[in-house]
Chains A and B, each alone.
Chain A
Amino acid sequence: MGKERVAVVGVGQTHHQAIIDGSIAGVVRTAAQRALDDAAMTWSDIDAVVIGKAPDFFEGVMMPELFLADALGAVGKPMFRVHTAGSVGGSTAIVASDLIASGLHERVLTVAFEKQSESEAMWALSVSMPFQPPMHAGAGGYFAPHIRSYMRRSGAPDHIGVLVALKDRLNALKNPYAHLHQADATFESINETMMLWDPIRLGETCPSSDGACAMVLTNEAGGDAAAAAGRPPAWVKGTALRSEPTMFAGRDQVNPQGGRDCAADVFGQAGITDPLHEIDVVEMYVPFSWFEPMWLENLGFAPSGDGWKFVEDGVTQMTGELPVNCSGGVLSSNPIGASGMLRFAEAAMQVRGQAGEHQIDGARTALGHAYGGGSQFFAMWVVGADKP
């Protein structure tokens, strides 16, 4: 971290859904206004705005930050646009955090969004380019072989993915902002859904969502002031980014080096040596159910090959030793560009004690995790209730 401590003092999000009947500007402003309200601030309190989203093709607007300057109160201020694939929501929060940590600004608004209803993301992800590996139809087609490879390596039984999906869908019932609220979800109902990209069933995939997430970050003085006013901040204890190449035979897409390095970096900054016991709750980027056991191993929570056993033993349930995605996760809401920031923001909500029905009692330290591209871009932060 830098010269200044960084505190999350405001969090806001939309009610994510298949189609938000409003403009893009309205979607981002709704989340931003909620974050400002949560921070007990107004637009004029903000020094700079950092916005992130996934490909511009998803809404058909090139560099949409330009037309969103008004809606986000950025006129006369620095406005910055980040794009790092699926990890972008996390990377955007880290750029915002850097603006505080470096001492440049005192109060930064950061926003991430996607309005998937403006287009068809699956086909936008399926553009075939000469001399490049085809994505087949959508991201699921790209990731299914990685999952199959994980199952082969670890000997995980077929039903693990369904268990993850069921947990996240039931957790989402406790999150009023989640897109999917499937009160009747059962193991059987998910297991019987259509096989889309073997071994990924429809019930094990994320939805296409419209939505946005926003946070207000401040320096130490701002965090102290929020705490004194009875609004406990989440203190940023570490941030890390890692990226890997696309065309490199030495990569391991099942357990990527970039993810391992990123986790080691962020845990090192936060002084965490035993993540399983020192992290109270995790918000992890799981767009297809099987990525939960895969990332449990990649992040160092489970020994290699044992991630699926954590799932089977209920370790990642809200009642387990390491609750994962109490919000319902990406499996229950996926406004792509915002999904990474939602992980970061939900982690902050947990240590602030503001997660409502999906709150883990006594959560003091949380990990927010995002990944993107072909499992090659990683963004993570550790936040805590205690000042670092």
Chain B
Amino acid sequence: MRDVAIISFAQTRHRREISDINEVEMLMPLMGEALAEAGIAKERVDFVCSASSDYLAGQPFSFVMSLDAFGPWPPISESHVDMDGAWALYEAWVKMQMGKTDIALVYAYGKSSPGNIRRVMSRQLDPYSLGPLWLDPVSMAAMQARLGLEAGAFTEKQMADVVAASRRHGAANPFAQLGGEFDAGALLAEPEFVSPLRKHDCPPVTDGAAVLILAAGDVARELSERPAWIRGIDHRIEAAALGVRDLTRSVSTEQAGARAGVADGPVDFAELHAPFAHQELILRSALGLADDVTVNPSGGALCANPIMTAGLIRFGEAATRIGRGDGDRAVAHATSGPCLQQNLVCVLEGE
């Protein structure tokens, strides 16, 4: 594989609602920041790939206008995915494997605030059988948590510990929406929201965007003092029907993690896209992370969950921490679909 690294990352200060500016205005300053951090003009970018969902924007072809944030003139080589931005990163990485693309810019954005996100996300389901029931992602995650608790895969105390750690980390992250010191016991005293989940076990509703720049080989070394090298990356999907999956595991994460080579060396920390507290525990187990591995030093999706973007942010957060020497080898992960249906796993290393 050709060596490709993350050399630059920028994100919004994520909020419950960013209603005073549109998506282009949200992205433009981030493009500037990310390019400035890499020390390049946009003309050096060989490929651009973005991620978003029309269902959040409430408009077909919503990504068409958002591309204006980059200023694609003269015309550029560019693509777009209707998946989390981590998959846009994957498409760019594939393009770079072919040799001619040295620098790629990846961006993702999503505003959940304009609609009712639980109802919107229910449109992801099979439109013939589950969609008409308006089954929402919180309810499905609650069923998953219930199965996990009953199977003994994890405990409510462990879930509360995940939340307490996330919020503590979130407090130290200026971009996170939520953060603070919470006692696990006090969290467990909170009422249930969608049983067995409490509100803090669920992701906040977030508006946000992120921009990330990839560079290959010596170009990355030229532009970054400590690039975060992609050493392995893979993604896998599972069946849509919840009833045919073992929801207490994440088989596709196990598959992708094995192919990405997570177990080939020690993991210093992991940024896992776990929108629900119990999903962090499922993912930790699926990736075989040791108990002492810090997960989500950024606070994770429990502290800011801009849909279509939260996975890409995991890559940016992990790369930023490698860049400043917090660790040498990290796992970045993204998920899509109800109850961790589709998962992408990447191993990032400093040099």
Given contacts A80-B81, A246-B68, A257-B75, 4 further A-B contacts (CB under 8 A): A83-B81, A95-B79, A241-B79, A258-B75
Contact across chains for A62 and B236 when beta carbons are under 8 A apart: no
A-B contact pairs, 10 of them (CB 8 A): A62-B124, A63-B336, A66-B237, A80-B235, A81-B81, A102-B95, A242-B76, A243-B78, A256-B75, A377-B78
Distance A83 CA – B127 CA, assembled complex (angstroms): 20
A4 to chain B: closest residue by CB: B98
- Beyond A61-B123, A67-B127, A95-B91, whether A84 also contacts B80 by CB under 8 A is yes
Q: Main SS of chain B's interface residues?
A: mixed
Contact across chains for B72 and A244 when beta carbons are under 8 A apart: yes
Instruction: For B53, list chain A residues within 8 Å (CB).
Output: 56, 62-63
**Could you tell me the distance in whole angstroms from the C-beta of B118 to the nearest C-beta in chain A?**
13
Instruction: For B128, list chain A residues within 8 Å (CB).
Output: 23
Write out, one digit per residue, whether chain B residues 57-88 have a CB within 8 A of any chain A CB (1) or not (0): 01111011101100111111111111100010
Q: Is A273 an interface residue (CB 8 A)?
A: no
Contact across chains for A70 and B239 when beta carbons are under 8 A apart: yes
Write out, one digit per residue, whether chain A residues 71-102 have a CB within 8 A of any chain B CB (1) or not (0): 00011111111111100000100110011011
Count of chain A residues near B, Cβ 8 A: 69
B interface residues, Cβ below 8 angstroms from A: 22, 48, 53-55, 58-61, 63-65, 67-68, 71-83, 87, 90-91, 94-95, 97-99, 120-121, 123-128, 131, 234-241, 251-252, 255, 336-338, 341-342
Distance A75 CA – B59 CA, assembled complex (angstroms): 30
Distance A236 CA – B48 CA, assembled complex (angstroms): 23
**Could you tell me the distance in whole angstroms from the C-beta of B108 to the nearest C-beta in chain A?**
13
Q: Which of A62, A102, A129, A243 contacts B98 (CB 8 A)?
A: A102
**Could you tell me the distance in whole angstroms from the C-beta of B46 to the nearest C-beta in chain A?**
11
Contact across chains for A244 and B75 when beta carbons are under 8 A apart: yes
Contact across chains for A373 and B61 when beta carbons are under 8 A apart: yes
Contact across chains for A67 and B124 when beta carbons are under 8 A apart: yes
B65 to chain A: closest residue by CB: A246
Distance A95 CA – B95 CA, assembled complex (angstroms): 8
Contact across chains for A69 and B237 when beta carbons are under 8 A apart: yes
Interface centre among B71, B78, B241, B251 (most CB of A within 10 A): B78
**Could you tell me the distance in whole angstroms from the C-beta of B275 to the nearest C-beta in chain A?**
15
Instruction: For A83, list chain B residues within 8 Å (CB).
Output: 63, 80-82
Instruction: For A74, list chain B residues within 8 Å (CB).
Output: 237
Q: Which of B67, B68, B237, B251 contacts A79 (CB 8 A)?
A: B237
- Beyond A69-B239, A104-B97, A245-B73, whether A82 also contacts B131 by CB under 8 A is no
Distance A150 CA – B141 CA, assembled complex (angstroms): 55
Write out, one digit per residue, whether chain A residues 371-388 have a CB within 8 A of any chain B CB (1) or not (0): 001101110000000000
- Beyond A66-B337, A69-B341, whether A76 also contacts B236 by CB under 8 A is yes
Distance A367 CA – B175 CA, assembled complex (angstroms): 47
Contact across chains for B79 and A84 when beta carbons are under 8 A apart: yes
A103 to chain B: closest residue by CB: B97
Q: Is A306 an interface residue (CB 8 A)?
A: no
**Could you tell me the distance in whole angstroms from the C-beta of A146 to the nearest C-beta in chain B?**
16
- Beyond A67-B126, A373-B64, whether A75 also contacts B238 by CB under 8 A is yes
**Could you tell me the distance in whole angstroms from the C-beta of B81 to the nearest C-beta in chain A?**
6
Interface centre among A101, A246, A247 (most CB of B within 10 A): A246
Interface centre among A66, A76, A242 (most CB of B within 10 A): A66
Q: Which of B99, B123, B251 contacts A60 (CB 8 A)?
A: B123
Q: Is A277 an interface residue (CB 8 A)?
A: no
- Beyond A76-B236, A83-B81, whether A98 also contacts B94 by CB under 8 A is yes
Instruction: For B126, list chain A residues within 8 Å (CB).
Output: 67
Write out, one digit per residue, whether chain A residues 243-283 have a CB within 8 A of any chain B CB (1) or not (0): 11111101100001110011000000000000000000000
Distance A3 CA – B1 CA, assembled complex (angstroms): 11
Q: Main SS of chain A's interface residues?
A: loop
B95 to chain A: closest residue by CB: A98
Instruction: For B54, list chain A residues within 8 Å (CB).
Output: 55-57
A133 to chain B: closest residue by CB: B65
Contact across chains for B59 and A129 when beta carbons are under 8 A apart: yes
Distance A98 CA – B77 CA, assembled complex (angstroms): 14
A379 to chain B: closest residue by CB: B79
**Could you tell me the distance in whole angstroms from the C-beta of B88 to the nearest C-beta in chain A?**
10
Q: Which of B77, B82, B131, B236 contacts A240 (CB 8 A)?
A: B77
Contact across chains for A243 and B60 when beta carbons are under 8 A apart: no
A250 to chain B: closest residue by CB: B73
Write out, one digit per residue, whether chain A residues 195-208 have a CB within 8 A of any chain B CB (1) or not (0): 00000000000000
Instruction: For A257, list chain B residues within 8 Å (CB).
Output: 74-75
Instruction: For B338, list chain A residues within 8 Å (CB).
Output: 66
**Could you tell me the distance in whole angstroms from the C-beta of B298 to the nearest C-beta in chain A?**
25
Instruction: For A374, list chain B residues within 8 Å (CB).
Output: 64
**Could you tell me the distance in whole angstroms from the C-beta of A383 to the nearest C-beta in chain B?**
18
Contact across chains for A61 and B76 when beta carbons are under 8 A apart: no
Distance A102 CA – B216 CA, assembled complex (angstroms): 14
Distance A60 CA – B241 CA, assembled complex (angstroms): 18
Contact across chains for B60 and A127 when beta carbons are under 8 A apart: yes
**Could you tell me the distance in whole angstroms from the C-beta of B45 to the nearest C-beta in chain A?**
12
Distance A230 CA – B333 CA, assembled complex (angstroms): 44
Instruction: For B76, list chain A residues within 8 Å (CB).
Output: 242-243
Instruction: For B241, list chain A residues within 8 Å (CB).
Output: 70
Contact across chains for A241 and B77 when beta carbons are under 8 A apart: yes
Contact across chains for A57 and B60 when beta carbons are under 8 A apart: yes
Contact across chains for A81 and B94 when beta carbons are under 8 A apart: no
Instruction: For B78, list chain A residues within 8 Å (CB).
Output: 84, 241-243, 377
Distance A244 CA – B337 CA, assembled complex (angstroms): 31
**Could you tell me the distance in whole angstroms from the C-beta of A247 to the nearest C-beta in chain B?**
5
**Could you tell me the distance in whole angstroms from the C-beta of A5 to the nearest C-beta in chain B?**
12
Which residues 4-49 of A sit at the B interface, judged by CB distance below 8 A?
23-24
Instruction: For B240, list chain A residues within 8 Å (CB).
Output: 66-70
Q: Is A221 an interface residue (CB 8 A)?
A: no
Contact across chains for A99 and B94 when beta carbons are under 8 A apart: yes
Interface centre among A94, A95, A243, A377 (most CB of B within 10 A): A243
Instruction: For A244, list chain B residues within 8 Å (CB).
Output: 72-73, 75
Interface centre among A58, A129, A257 (most CB of B within 10 A): A129
- Beyond A102-B98, A242-B76, A246-B68, whether A127 also contacts B59 by CB under 8 A is yes
Contact across chains for A2 and B79 when beta carbons are under 8 A apart: no
Contact across chains for B75 and A80 when beta carbons are under 8 A apart: no
Which residues 329-388 of A sit at the B interface, judged by CB distance below 8 A?
373-374, 376-378
Top 7 closest pairs, chain A to chain B, by CB: A2-B98, A55-B60, A258-B75, A102-B97, A243-B78, A62-B123, A62-B55
